[in-house]
Structure 1
Amino acid sequence: MQTDWIEQLFTRADGQYLCARWGRPIVPVVFGVDDNTLSTVKGAIEAVVALAGHKMAETDPELGANLMVFFFRDWSELLEVPNLDRLVEGLGPLVARLQAADANQYRIFRFDEANAIRAAFVFIRMDDALESVPAETLALSQAVQVILLWSDRAFTDRSALALTDGDTILRPEIGALIRAAYDPVLPAVATDPAHALRLGARIGSLQ
């Protein structure tokens, strides 16, 4: 895996390199889906967390649940969720911006004192485009995008997933990168592009 490609996956539009992983066990809760879809989403999260070598838990001592996934039809529905405005600062203006942009998904991360991921909020508006995506594919895509703090441009040109024999799978190089990023020898947070070199080296040693 080329180092410059790894670096691009964590270099934001403003030119800043930033890679962060979760600093605590992940406790997901999913809103707005039926039981079958709930199992699919949680199963995808569990699979990606296991791939990373990270942990899940029944509850977060500070937040209860620290990964909140919302499915809905219209952005305005978020304004009706009790106390969500306390968890997401500036919820009203954010909803207005997302409505104006006709966005169908958005993710917000919160960080601890060491700048590792402490919590994440995933908002998915089920428009016509996402309605056509199989639940397993959508769930796996969201799980991958929340396991690390990727660049805001990371998967705009090329998906993290691939289709093999009719099945949607995580691209092997992305899976290897996730495992490497969670290797204990690497820091939970990195802002130096040289970190991409270390990721590449860890991928080589883990294979």
Structure 2
Amino acid sequence: MTPERVAGMFTQSDGAFRFARWARPLAPVIFGTDDASLGPLKDGLRVVASLADLSLVEADPEFGSNFMMFFCRDWAELRDVPDMGRMLPDFDGLIGRLEAAGANQYRHFAHEPDGAIRFCVCLLRMDAALAAMPAEDLAQLQAARSLLLWSDTAFRDRSPLAQVPAGTIVAPDVAALIRAGYDRALPDASDDPALAYRLAARAGLLLGDLA
């Protein structure tokens, strides 16, 4: 858990370091799935949110919901969802880019005036890979990727989840970074790469406790 490695987890492909975390409880709402999946999905969100001591609430006072998950079989289906264009900039162009890339997931963040995360939209196209995941694991995956503003390349070559005999968990190094990222002594948002040193120190201690 070196500062350089941590810095890479929050350095975007344009070279800019950007760290942000949530400063309010999560108020999730899930669209496009069956009732039987809602419980496991929310359980998965709750498990990962607990790493950051974030609570799940029924409603956000400003937005109603501030963490929205949309499931679809094809990206084009989302064009029929009311007000999607108001939530996602250049929505039509985005759908075209997702189709061209063969992507199966996308996240969009909105931010507080100080840079903290205030809103997240997760779009999921249920291809074979995502459809094979249990609902709770899928929710853990999305929560792990949404509780911090990770680099757009942070999980290009790996998953933030890990398999253990008891089931699926957030990988220990990712869990340690999430916990470290929500240390109250740290800012809610920063573009200063020096923050990576403070994150690395805290995450390293947490990993040591897990060993």
TM-score, length basis structure 1: 0.94
Contact 1:26 1:57 in 2 (8 A): yes
Aligned-pair distance for 1:137?
Answer: 2.2
1:10 to 2:10 alignment:
yes
Contact 2:52 2:179 in 1 (8 A): yes
Counterpart CA distance in 1 for 2:74 and 2:28 is 22
Contact 1:25 1:56 in 2 (8 A): yes
Counterpart CA distance in 2 for 1:166 and 1:23 is 31
Partner of 2:110: 110
1:38-187 counterparts in 2 under 5 A? 38-165=38-165, 167-187=167-187
The one-letter code sitting in structure 1 at the alignment partner of 2:189 is V
* Higher deviation after alignment, 36-45 or 63-72: 36-45
Aligned-pair distance for 1:7?
Answer: 1.1
Segments of 5+ residues of structure 2 without an aligned counterpart are none
Partner of 1:22: 22
* Higher deviation after alignment, 125-134 or 185-194: 125-134
The one-letter code sitting in structure 2 at the alignment partner of 1:104 is N
The one-letter code sitting in structure 2 at the alignment partner of 1:171 is A
Aligned-pair distance for 1:195?
Answer: 0.6
Aligned-pair distance for 1:106?
Answer: 0.5
Segments of 5+ residues of structure 1 without an aligned counterpart are none
Aligned-pair distance for 1:160?
Answer: 1.1
TM-score, length basis structure 2: 0.93
Counterpart CA distance in 2 for 1:134 and 1:203 is 28
Aligned-pair distance for 1:20?
Answer: 0.4
3-state SS of 2:150 partner:
coil
Q: Aligned-residue CA RMSD in angstroms?
A: 1.4
Aligned-pair distance for 1:205?
Answer: 5.0
Identity %: 47
Contact 2:46 2:56 in 1 (8 A): yes
Contact 1:54 1:182 in 2 (8 A): no
Question: C-alpha deviations, 1:75-111, integer Å up to 9, x for none?
Answer: 1111101122122222111111111111111000000
The one-letter code sitting in structure 2 at the alignment partner of 1:98 is L
3-state SS of 2:175 partner:
helix
The one-letter code sitting in structure 1 at the alignment partner of 2:12 is R
Question: C-alpha deviations, 1:5-58, integer Å up to 9, x for none?
Answer: 111111111111111001211100000111221111111111111111123322
Counterpart CA distance in 1 for 2:128 and 2:158 is 21
Aligned-pair distance for 1:199?
Answer: 0.7
Aligned-pair distance for 1:158?
Answer: 1.9
